[in-house]
Structure 1
């Protein structure tokens, strides 16, 4: 280290005294480090010598290990060289074997070529087309260039040309025969002959041609069956029990027929062609054409275009009426009933059977992409769009009818509107779920949310704004309050029910579709908050109009009763309390009057509001009174009695709501001011220091100066 530092310092480069001092200081530091290192080495001399002695003893052992390692190296080198020699000979043998195999193959091809040339003619003459196709398949699998070279080497060039020409002519003749016989079998609808000649196309390397012919035959069968079903659908009268779903049945029969055809023909196609996707794509094109025709006939027969125009105009007028607050205007009676709409949007087993049974995994995604872009999917999307418009109209009209027919149900606390409204929504959304269209379900969920918020919740809110005390509105307002509270629970029940239906009916959804449905269901659940806000508004109205005006005069009687009493008066009050007993009777009568009018949840909320109101009013009354020691004890009894009664009628502890009153009673019940500090160590005060002093000032026997000196 010192030598390195000295080498790094060049005295000739120093030009100032500061640089010389800096170099000197650095050298001093390095000298000190070297001295410390030398002292450590000298102090550990014996240990270092012992370690060196141990190393010296290991030298012979290391020499033996070195010798063994060299022997192992020589052995490995010899083995490696031997392996390289053996592998070289093996490669030579493998090359020789490959060449022998190639020669054998060429000889075999020449012999097979000769046999095929003679055998194909015999098979054709005997009309044994399978055997003839087998000879042609063997011939086509041979490499012509290699065969020509082999024939020239074997001096068989002339025979080779003869065989080749004979086999090519036989191939052309056999192809013509197969085409003719296949077409004839199709004309005669001879299933056995059709399958027989369909199997021969791959042997002639005519896969595409065979699949095209066979698929055209399948399409013709599907087309004939669909035309028959379409003709039957047109003959169905309006009074037939399946008239409202006949078009759904017709298009479902088409899908099921295609699925059946694929399932039956799949083994032969996979066995001889390995190209089922091509057949499915061609069948899908035929499905598009037939389905489009069915939908067009349905629209014509049902006059859907005219109905849609009428419904769209009705919806437009309804929206204008809502925006101008004239929702009482009725839609023209000529508007259609959307319940007559066919459930055309459901998917048959066609798509699921293809995906599950007939496609290789690596082609599923590609096929699903093509299927999603097919014409039938586009047509179904249009049908779903039209269905959504009609379903929205049905929902609007059913809601309007439910509102018009709304009535109290005997002694029930709610009206028929809530059950009717949620039943209608549940029915409509479930119909949309049956379509398996995510967009259709989302549209109906969004429209349902809009109706719940704009018509149901807003209607309840409008009714509650009229107030409770107005004569003639009491029944209406309490019913609206109960309806709003019941609707909160119905929303959660509806959301859970629809989620279960979606999970069972719409499986294997993509993450995007699942997220869309979850978002719409969350919006539906959020309407519970809207109804809860209506309930809170109704309860606040009830508090302002029916609770506070009664509770305030009841509690104000507290100020008319003196709490500057003697011990004898305190004993008399214990047997006949002039305030708390009367207050509890009045509260009990008030709560009892609302039991038959309000739901259980609303009644519980009313009790909670009443507790808070009593506590607030009593707290104000206390500050208007004065107390002595016995009066404070009496007030403590009153608070305890009221708290016990309210806890009993509310079925929960009211300690939190009455905490401030209880603490005020504690302060007014003190014997002297010194007890305040004792209570402060074990009590979390809800009263502020100012309020505590103000409460203590109500005690006539406590001095103002002593209260002000308290450290709270």
Structure 2
């Protein structure tokens, strides 16, 4: 049966032990955790008893309500009273739970206050220890130990918010106030320690700088020791900017001193020494940046190298301008530019030296600035992601819209040296144009025949040497704008003053020879024809070599001044866009040379066709008498002709006459020109055979004979073709001959391919003549053709050829659906 919970004071008794149990249900009486456990156990027991009574009542036999109430009325009354008592006890338990929660929350707050207070005490103890150790180290002039303890304090201060560093214990509960020192005393100790450490920082800084000042009187090696010490100690006491500035000034001073010492001897040296010294200057700066990267990263943190890069770049610009001014004066650049503007002749050797120096200066400047900006861009990205507050002033300066610094790399957008290099590039373009133009004109004036066969003159080799020199030199600047400017300057000279002159000379000599066929005129005509063909051969080689050298213009590294994207993906896209733009610009400037090469090839073909029509056509026509033109033959006649080898290519009289006809021409012309002339002759014979086909009737045996006749001619004329490798002159160099053997074989195959192309239509005529029936043409023509070779003949031409077969009915030919 349920009864009211007993109220006892024994903490060790268990519920259910009567008066010996301590079961607390009032929140005010809870003093121990055991009281909570005892109350919970008691209420669980009450719940179990109540449930048992209800179960017992529900298990009785079912009766009417009256009988049930009559039999269990007293029991039910007792259960109701017990349930009311349990409800009251549960309400007390709810109050107890709330009170316990409040007590636990208060206890948790007290623990937090205790932890905070302990942390403050530890911090104060650490600061006091730092003060004690710093004071001892300063007294012993042990700057390293003192700096390390100051650095330790700075790290703690940076890791804790300012209000925590200077907070007192006033917010602690009364129960904890007695544990800790008085708030004002703790605050005073903290402030006193901070003042001592701040004063120590200032003294350390003065001591380090004082040692450096005293070290000025020492030799460079000993001074370097003190500088290295300062470089390590200054970041420990929070003077990172000062440490980097001192180191940067020291290195810049050394560079300036070395340049000044080297400049003492420059007056006795030529201008090339200035270029060499400038190269060494840039190389030294690059090595200093690479060498100092790890040390600065270790002692100063990520992103701080940018400040050193800025200082070194500032000094490099200053020294580079001094060297450039010295070079300009030695080379008399302004005077040379004045002469060029007045079209006064300038010595080729002097001009070549100036141009070579200019290229090196522009190239070295381009490579140096690309390196510096790339490294600065990396350091700026690291600085922007770092949490070091000492970087804030530098980042603010770079982000300032009025600053001359690039927001992408922190380097000046356009330094004074870069401006001077731009001016130098313009001067270079002017002088390169002058150099090329004047020397091409000189080469054309001094043009003279060269020895050997076939005959050539000197102008082609001379001009192409000048062309290659100027263009490759411009490409070597690494500046696509400079390279394109030079290409655009030399192309009109090549087109008008060189190739145009050669084309005009060929036409003039050809006309003169037609009017006055003398040997010396013929020799001059052939020489200029060879010159024209040699230009056609040289031009692709020149373009290939330029493309090979131009690969340096299309490197993926950003050019100086190229904006830096915000992410690696954007960087890759931007690099690709910049690369495509450079390629497009260069290809646009190189395209006129490709067009000129094609135009000259057509001019050469046209001039050789004129030579054939004027001097060889009539003689070749006289050889047509050797052709067998009776094609309406039977099998016996065909057999006799085959047995006698009466094909045109096998007839001794024809082959001898033809070889004799072209013998002199073969010696006079370049091999490639002679091969073109052979193709022209072959094309003439092809046209003659086409005329014969349409004017003669053919039996099956006659068609077969004509096919073998054409094949024999093709084999014969192929034996006359000259193996060439692009340079047709025989200079007797065995090594050169071996080196060009593969090229010669390749060109011979190309000539054979060209011959097959010209004979394509005739080959299709022979195929038609050798069909067994008109309908068989559908195996070669139309959608059911066994091959996809395009036809050179139209449908009416196919029918015209088929009608020449004696065996084919014209009506059946007409019914073929083509």
Normalising by structure 1, what TM-score? 0.69
Mark the CA change 1:442 to 1:147 in structure 2 (over 3 Å): closer, same or farther: same
Moved more, 341-350 or 575-584: 575-584
Match of residue 384 from structure 1: 425
Give the secondary structure class of the aligned counterpart of 2:267: helix
Alpha carbons 1:109, 1:147 under 8 Å: kept = no
CA-to-aligned-CA distance 1:445-491 (integer Å, 9 cap, x gap)? 44444443333332332223226344444334433333333334433
How many angstroms apart in 2 are the aligned matches of 1:501 and 1:555? 50
How many angstroms apart in 2 are the aligned matches of 1:224 and 1:281? 19
Match of residue 210 from structure 2: 180
How many angstroms apart in 1 are the aligned matches of 2:433 and 2:317? 28
Match of residue 593 from structure 2: 527
Give the secondary structure class of the aligned counterpart of 1:347: helix
Match of 1:650 among 718, 736, 741: 718
User: Aligned pair count?
Assistant: 594
Match of 1:277 among 294, 306, 309: 306
Match of residue 120 from structure 2: 106
1:543 matched to 2:593: no
Moved more, 155-164 or 210-219: 155-164
Residues 403-442 of structure 1: pairs in structure 2 closer than 5 A: 403-413=444-454, 414-442=456-484
How many angstroms apart in 2 are the aligned matches of 1:601 and 1:91? 103
Mark the CA change 1:690 to 1:548 in structure 2 (over 3 Å): closer, same or farther: farther
Match of residue 245 from structure 1: 272
CA-to-aligned-CA distance 1:272-310 (integer Å, 9 cap, x gap)? 323110111122112212212221222122221111222
Residues 193-342 of structure 1: pairs in structure 2 closer than 5 A: 193-236=226-269, 243-274=270-301, 275-314=304-343, 332=345, 337-341=350-354, 342=357
Residues 143-158 of structure 1: pairs in structure 2 closer than 5 A: 145=163, 146-147=165-166, 149-150=168-169, 153=183, 155-158=185-188
Alpha carbons 2:340, 2:346 under 8 Å: kept = no
How many angstroms apart in 2 are the aligned matches of 1:683 and 1:97? 102
How many angstroms apart in 1 are the aligned matches of 2:509 and 2:153? 98
Match of 2:497 among 455, 466, 482: 455
How many angstroms apart in 2 are the aligned matches of 1:498 and 1:402? 22
Mark the CA change 1:668 to 1:125 in structure 2 (over 3 Å): closer, same or farther: closer
How many angstroms apart in 1 are the aligned matches of 2:795 and 2:556? 64
How many angstroms apart in 1 are the aligned matches of 2:501 and 2:350? 25
How many angstroms apart in 1 are the aligned matches of 2:768 and 2:231? 105
CA-to-aligned-CA distance 1:71-104 (integer Å, 9 cap, x gap)? xxxxxxxxxxxxxxxxxx9999998887655433
Mark the CA change 1:110 to 1:526 in structure 2 (over 3 Å): closer, same or farther: same
Give the secondary structure class of the aligned counterpart of 1:235: coil
Mark the CA change 1:445 to 1:181 in structure 2 (over 3 Å): closer, same or farther: same
How many angstroms apart in 2 are the aligned matches of 1:707 and 1:209? 107
Shift of 1:353: 6.5
Mark the CA change 1:547 to 1:96 in structure 2 (over 3 Å): closer, same or farther: farther
CA-to-aligned-CA distance 1:149-178 (integer Å, 9 cap, x gap)? 257527345544544444444444333333
Shift of 1:398: 2.9
How many angstroms apart in 2 are the aligned matches of 1:187 and 1:666? 102
Alpha carbons 1:467, 1:545 under 8 Å: kept = no
CA-to-aligned-CA distance 1:548-570 (integer Å, 9 cap, x gap)? 66435753786999969999999
Give the secondary structure class of the aligned counterpart of 2:604: helix
Shift of 1:659: 6.8
CA-to-aligned-CA distance 1:409-431 (integer Å, 9 cap, x gap)? 32233433333333333333333
Shift of 1:248: 0.7
CA-to-aligned-CA distance 1:89-146 (integer Å, 9 cap, x gap)? 9999998887655433311221233334444443333322333334444455436643
Residues 575-586 of structure 1: pairs in structure 2 closer than 5 A: 585-586=656-657
Match of residue 63 from structure 1: none
Query: Bigger radius of gyration, 1 or 2?
Result: 2
1:479 matched to 2:530: no
Match of residue 570 from structure 2: none
Shift of 1:338: 1.8
Mark the CA change 1:95 to 1:332 in structure 2 (over 3 Å): closer, same or farther: farther
How many angstroms apart in 2 are the aligned matches of 1:429 and 1:130? 60
Residues 362-401 of structure 1: pairs in structure 2 closer than 5 A: 362=381, 368=409, 370=411, 373-401=414-442
Alpha carbons 2:457, 2:531 under 8 Å: kept = yes
CA-to-aligned-CA distance 1:592-644 (integer Å, 9 cap, x gap)? 33221223332222222112223334555777x7x6889x9879856753552
1:501 matched to 2:549: yes
Mark the CA change 1:296 to 1:152 in structure 2 (over 3 Å): closer, same or farther: farther
Match of 1:402 among 425, 443, 448: 443
1:606 matched to 2:623: no
Match of residue 48 from structure 2: none
Moved more, 411-420 or 607-616: 411-420
Moved more, 300-309 or 482-491: 482-491
Mark the CA change 1:687 to 1:165 in structure 2 (over 3 Å): closer, same or farther: closer
Give the secondary structure class of the aligned counterpart of 1:294: helix
How many angstroms apart in 1 are the aligned matches of 2:241 and 2:373? 23
How many angstroms apart in 1 are the aligned matches of 2:262 and 2:438? 35
How many angstroms apart in 2 are the aligned matches of 1:662 and 1:500? 41
Alpha carbons 1:251, 1:294 under 8 Å: kept = yes
Alpha carbons 1:639, 1:661 under 8 Å: kept = no
Moved more, 97-106 or 554-563: 554-563
Alpha carbons 1:463, 1:476 under 8 Å: kept = no
Match of residue 641 from structure 1: 709
Shift of 1:254: 1.9
Shift of 1:209: 2.8
Shift of 1:360: 4.1
Shift of 1:707: 8.1
Mark the CA change 1:307 to 1:642 in structure 2 (over 3 Å): closer, same or farther: same
Shift of 1:255: 1.6
How many angstroms apart in 2 are the aligned matches of 1:367 and 1:259? 20
How many angstroms apart in 2 are the aligned matches of 1:565 and 1:148? 125
How many angstroms apart in 1 are the aligned matches of 2:676 and 2:447? 26
Give the secondary structure class of the aligned counterpart of 1:221: helix
Give the secondary structure class of the aligned counterpart of 1:332: coil
Normalising by structure 2, what TM-score? 0.61
Shift of 1:340: 1.8
Shift of 1:388: 2.7
